[in-house]
Structure 1
Amino acid sequence: MKGPVTMPSTPHPYLPNSVPEVRQQMLDTIGVQGIDDLYETIPADLRMPEGLDLPAALSSEAHLVSHMRGLLAKNTPALPARSFLGYGCYQHFVPATCGEINGRAEFLTAYAGESTEDHGKWQALFEYTSLMAELLDMDVVSIPTYDGYQAAATALRMGLRLTGRGEVVVSTAMEAGKLAKIRTYLPDSVTVRLVDVDEATGRLSAETVAALVSDDTAAVLIESPNVFGVVESEAREIAAAAHANGAVVVAATDPVALGFLEAPANWGADIVCGDIQSLGVGMHFGGGHGGFIATHDEPEFVFEFASRLFGLSPTSESGEIGFTDVAYERTSLARREEGNEWVGTAASLWAITAGVYLSLMGPEGMRGLGTYVAGMTRYAKDRIAELPGFSVPHAGSANWREFTVRHDALSAAEIRERMEERGFHAGVDLGAFFAGREGDLLVAVTEQHTQADIDALVRELGEIA
């Protein structure tokens, strides 16, 4: 919005406090002359001088349904055998039980109520956090934030509060949107020091990161597997260097990878964060996302969580325990503007879904999934690397689920276009997100892909080239 904001002269039927006199009383109470004063910190060039150019309103629910069907019909389904898309939204298998349980009325409608009316919700959330804690080798797990981007930004802010320092060191080998979220969510006074991976290996160098860490560093963020699918093999050394300077180590990861990879807590991470989209949530036209944050059971860390935590507590009945909020007084829900951070809508339904998924998979199921994906990733890397004109950067590094592909003559965009004509989503064009990476195609392999699926992809890639 930009320019002068015109206050409506009549109440809006669906908006509370929209009576003009009531709105003016509210403005007078907080000591501003008009709505525009509330947006004065937003640069003028980012505001809209006029209203939104919206089409005429639809006249009925039937017309709305018809309109939405038309929009949805434009979607091209990402069929498991023919889609190798990733980059933060993954086509892992979703057991039917996940949808069956998260569609139950007591969960589907349980937005932010209390245990008195949302029977079973708090227990379900407690079970989710317990399962996640076991997978992550951590003790305390929050209910989901909006997404993994938000979780990473909040984890860094926790590090800022814990240390009282003003710098963070962040790897650039993450989704461009996540890095943008971090830079916009941290206070303007915070210095964000960026560190690139080594182009030959696709990994961070512990020596390079250590050179950036100082007594002013609040936190160091390591993402593994990183945006190129490369496992950060020097994470332990990086964590040691950060700790030697009194900095907090934040690890961003995908929990589904931990059936194969070592939990970040075991190589020195103080805070672990990520997204639960891979845990039975599905793609949903771009992903149903929810961010998690996890720490050890240390009071100084627990009281820096911004979001709600669920645990067990004795009730008024002797010998009885119940599911309840833990340290609720930390949150902005209890302290309002004095809270660590503002916290609002959470993705709790996806937490329940992820809890169902983890309970179905169990330790052996997660281990089998992780091992299978690792094997298929290696198979796909090797097969594509054999094609004339193609190469696989970082071929000597360990990849999990994703890896990059290049061609001598074709850009990633050209490969994608030619493969789409053959019915394949061959991967993600990293040049659309990172300058200088127009030749890099990011290919993702999940447990839904078979060896035959990969062979078909390789055959078509060979023909287009």
Structure 2
Amino acid sequence: MSKNAVVYPYIPNSVPEIREQMLKEIGVEDIMDLFAEIPAHLQYHERMNLPEPIPDEFSLKKHVEGILNTNKHCSEYLNFLGAGCAQHFIPAVCDEINGRGEFLTAYAADFYADHGKWQTLFEFCSLMGELLDMDVVSGFLYDGAQAIATSLRMASRITGRQEVLLPRTMNPQALKVVENYMQGVLEPVIHIVMVDFDPATGLLDLQDLKSKVSSKTAAVLIENPSYLGFLETQAAEIGKIARQNGAEFVVSTDPIALGVLAPPAQYGATIACGDYHPLGIHLQCGGGQAGFIATHDDMKYVSEFKDKMYGLTKTVAEGEYGFGHVLFDRTSFGSREKAKEYTGTSNALWAITAGVYLALMGPKGMAEVGQTIMQKSQYAATQIAQIPGVKLVFNSPFFKEFVVNFDGTDMSVKAINKALLEHNIFGGQDLSVEFPQLGQSALYCVTEIMTKDNIDTLVATLQDITG
């Protein structure tokens, strides 16, 4: 072993003496002996193109900061990009609480010391249950897409059927997760049938739905608000069609909209799901998201949840209560490979954060933020639609996102977004690849953080770019 080996401060086995001791303990002379079973033709024998090691903490910190500083982020740019993960205001108390030492870990298994974590997770589930008007709420899933996938799996187990109906307006990234989850390693394979939409409104084509729903259908899914922003005003009728055919009605929703919109339970949803990233969680590069599933208090649903649920339980002290798992054997923690689905370490920290946000806002605060978002997004859409060559694609009501078409400007969305970047603005999601039938269209998102001046800046900049 080379005496000039680099010793890394945070990797104990990079110390030559420690590495030699470890190898001796397992009866191996060289570390490469651990990989002897890998055929030689599969081994890489060249020097890897990696930067030289940075052993001291200060230099490493400066190096990483230099990389991060090349990012363009929302503290410097106006952000009108949503498409599944939008920028919302984060109250300072959310960061204050989730940064406490007793909470600051995403680890979600049983706790060696409680420090109030059980209660915070119980409160999160209780607050989400009130928001959703549902009785039972899961702990926390990986993200909203995974929540949709598990909801559909639950529906299949409940009904004993292996087909699900999904809207063609569905979030394409979520659809990819669902496709993988329906036809992956889990059994049985569940077949996906896509339902068309009305090109004028974006709403689900009810005739197409009626022609495709059958005795094989385990679930009918809608997103409300939809990925393309519009509100599915036919939701109650869609749910009725699903239930008349013995299928579950699954609704994926945006929880921050529920201060002004009826929760899915009130228009017939048997399973509600979604992503609670709008509830006090910062935008992150691939993180800051976590999913939920909710149902009514019916054992045929409760027994099919795959994730942990938190409830009250009596203690040995008379009149006192504690917190505990509900039906722990449902999970893979309790039943291992015999469980219906696998559950892993997940996003407990974000559940705590969302619970703090909901407790801070209360019903009145949620109503106010919902109203603010709707007012600002309506103003933005109205102003943008007045730009020559620009029009709104759908005539349905919407919450915070809406589709804008630029065909009349003879410019592509890609070119427009590139020009907006030069003015420190993130434009809308380019839909020309995901939904080519919509032409050169973009999905714009306006939340409560946008001021009238911000929106007017966007409109004026778009006029200059397309004029």
TM tier, smaller: 0.7 to 0.9
Aligned partners of 1:387, 1:452: CA distance in 2, in Å?
17
| TM-score relative to the length of structure 2 | 0.87
Q: Deviations over 1:267-324 (max 9, x none)?
A: 1111111101100001023540000111111111011000000010111222211111
Q: Is 2:58 the counterpart of 1:58?
A: no
Q: Alpha-carbon deviation of 1:345?
A: 1.1
Structure 1 partner of 2:401: 402
Aligned partners of 1:57, 1:286: CA distance in 2, in Å?
27
Q: Is 2:262 the counterpart of 1:231?
A: no
Aligned partners of 2:309, 2:425: CA distance in 1, in Å?
42
Q: Please say which of residues 140-149 and 432-441 is displaced more in the overlay.
A: 432-441
Secondary structure at the aligned position of 2:355 is classed as: helix
Q: Alpha-carbon deviation of 1:429?
A: 1.1
* CA pair 97-435 structure 1, distance change in 2 beyond 3 A: same
* CA pair 237-66 structure 1, distance change in 2 beyond 3 A: same
Secondary structure at the aligned position of 2:292 is classed as: strand
Structure 1 partner of 2:141: 145
Aligned partners of 1:19, 1:270: CA distance in 2, in Å?
56
Aligned partners of 2:26, 2:396: CA distance in 1, in Å?
63
Structure 2 partner of 1:293: 293
Aligned partners of 1:318, 1:447: CA distance in 2, in Å?
47
Matched ranges for 1:129-140 at <5 A: 129-140=125-136
Secondary structure at the aligned position of 1:169 is classed as: strand
Aligned partners of 1:179, 1:19: CA distance in 2, in Å?
47
Q: Deviations over 1:148-198 (max 9, x none)?
A: 111111111001111111100011222211000000011352210012322
Aligned AA (1:282)? H
* CA pair 202-113 structure 1, distance change in 2 beyond 3 A: closer
Q: 2:165 aligns with which of 169, 180, 186?
A: 169
Verify the 8 A CA contact 1:210 1:242 in the aligned structure 2. no
Verify the 8 A CA contact 2:124 2:355 in the aligned structure 1. yes
Stretches of structure 1 that go unaligned for 5 or more consecutive residues are: 1-11, 24-33, 37-47
Aligned AA (2:314)? P
- Higher Cα Rg, which structure: 2
Aligned partners of 1:116, 1:287: CA distance in 2, in Å?
26
Aligned partners of 2:296, 2:38: CA distance in 1, in Å?
44
Q: Is 2:207 the counterpart of 1:213?
A: no
Structure 1 partner of 2:274: 274
Structure 1 partner of 2:190: 190
Aligned AA (2:453)? A
Secondary structure at the aligned position of 2:200 is classed as: coil
* CA pair 206-105 structure 1, distance change in 2 beyond 3 A: same
Aligned AA (1:356)? V
Matched ranges for 1:409-424 at <5 A: 409-424=410-425
Secondary structure at the aligned position of 2:313 is classed as: strand
Structure 2 partner of 1:30: none
| TM-score relative to the length of structure 1 | 0.87
Secondary structure at the aligned position of 2:316 is classed as: coil
Verify the 8 A CA contact 1:81 1:453 in the aligned structure 2. no
Structure 2 partner of 1:365: 365
Aligned partners of 1:262, 1:445: CA distance in 2, in Å?
21
User: How many residues matched?
Assistant: 431
Secondary structure at the aligned position of 1:144 is classed as: coil
Q: 1:119 aligns with which of 115, 119, 137?
A: 115
Structure 1 partner of 2:177: 181
Aligned partners of 1:427, 1:110: CA distance in 2, in Å?
31
Verify the 8 A CA contact 2:141 2:346 in the aligned structure 1. yes
Verify the 8 A CA contact 1:205 1:234 in the aligned structure 2. no
Identity %: 44
Q: Alpha-carbon deviation of 1:141?
A: 0.8
Q: Please say which of residues 90-99 and 407-416 is displaced more in the overlay.
A: 407-416
Secondary structure at the aligned position of 1:431 is classed as: coil
* CA pair 460-59 structure 1, distance change in 2 beyond 3 A: closer
Structure 1 partner of 2:78: 82
Stretches of structure 2 that go unaligned for 5 or more consecutive residues are: 1-11, 15-21, 28-36
* CA pair 437-414 structure 1, distance change in 2 beyond 3 A: farther
Structure 1 partner of 2:18: none
